[in-house]
């Protein structure tokens, strides 16, 4: 039932609401639709547009997909997204999330994605958060189920280092609070 992604990339979309009037870019494998004309897919590509925020994401997913709750793969790369919006945390079946090449600058926002039980692949490189020296450790610590980050496998050693990093930061924060 679930084949190619619904492809809305390179459409000059500047808000998710704008996407609703766009047509899926046809591929070699045509997508099937249900009787309500919604796509039988669990993947959505919104990459290479000008999307600044995700507040209409749920409505956009509902607009295009026959079974929006089964969305497993979402490509939001190369947009103008500033924040990892809470709406992403409602996509409980999400397995792959591409956010590379955006303008995300608050590293702690990655922690929100920790509620996604099946998320195993994430890309965040090409955002301001990548310049933080704790970047990889923080992301792996926040998302311990990750198998791939920024198109690179997460190794057992990285998991151990991220855990050590997390514990040392937790201790440091705790000692700062006792000093107050």
From 10-14, 23-27, 61-65, 90-94, the region with the lowest mean pLDDT = 23-27
User: What ranges make up the beta strands (E) of the chain?
Assistant: 6-7, 43-45, 73-75, 96-98, 121-123, 148-149, 152-153
Sign of CA dihedral 163, 165, 168, 171: negative
pLDDT for 45 equals 97
Residue 51 in any domain: the answer is yes
Global pTM reads: 0.92
For residue 171, pLDDT over 60 is answered with yes
Q: How close are the terminal C-alpha atoms of the chain, in Å?
A: 58
CA 74 to chain centre: 6
For residue 5, pLDDT over 90 is answered with yes
Residue 134 in any domain: the answer is yes
The domain that contains 174 carries what CATH number?
3.80.10.10
Residue 1 in any domain: the answer is no
Residue 123 in any domain: the answer is yes
For residue 175, pLDDT over 70 is answered with no
Range of the domain at 76: 6-179
Question: pLDDT tens digits for 80-113?
Answer: 999 999 999 999 999 999 999 999 999 999 999 9
Please give the tally of structural domains in the chain: 1
């Amino acid at each position: 039932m679930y084949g190619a992604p619904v492809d809305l990339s390179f459409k000059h979309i500047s808000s998710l609401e704008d996407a609703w009037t766009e047509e899926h870019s046809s591929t070699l494998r045509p997508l099937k639709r249900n009787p309500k004309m919604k796509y039988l897919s669990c993947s959505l590509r919104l990459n290479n547009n000008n999307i600044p925020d995700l507040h209409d994401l749920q409505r956009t997913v509902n607009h295009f997909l026959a079974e929006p709750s089964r969305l497993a793969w979402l490509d939001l790369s190369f947009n103008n997204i500033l924040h990892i919006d809470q709406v992403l945390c409602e996509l409980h079946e999400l397995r792959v999330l591409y956010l590379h090449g955006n303008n995300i600058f608050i590293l702690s926002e990655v922690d929100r994605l920790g509620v996604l039980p099946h998320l195993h692949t994430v890309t965040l490189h090409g955002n301001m958060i990548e310049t933080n020296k704790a970047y990889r450790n923080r992301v792996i610590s926040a998302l311990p189920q990750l198998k791939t980050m920024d198109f690179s496998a997460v190794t057992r050693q990285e998991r151990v280092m991220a855990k050590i990093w997390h514990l040392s930061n937790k201790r440091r924060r705790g000692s700062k609070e006792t000093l107050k």
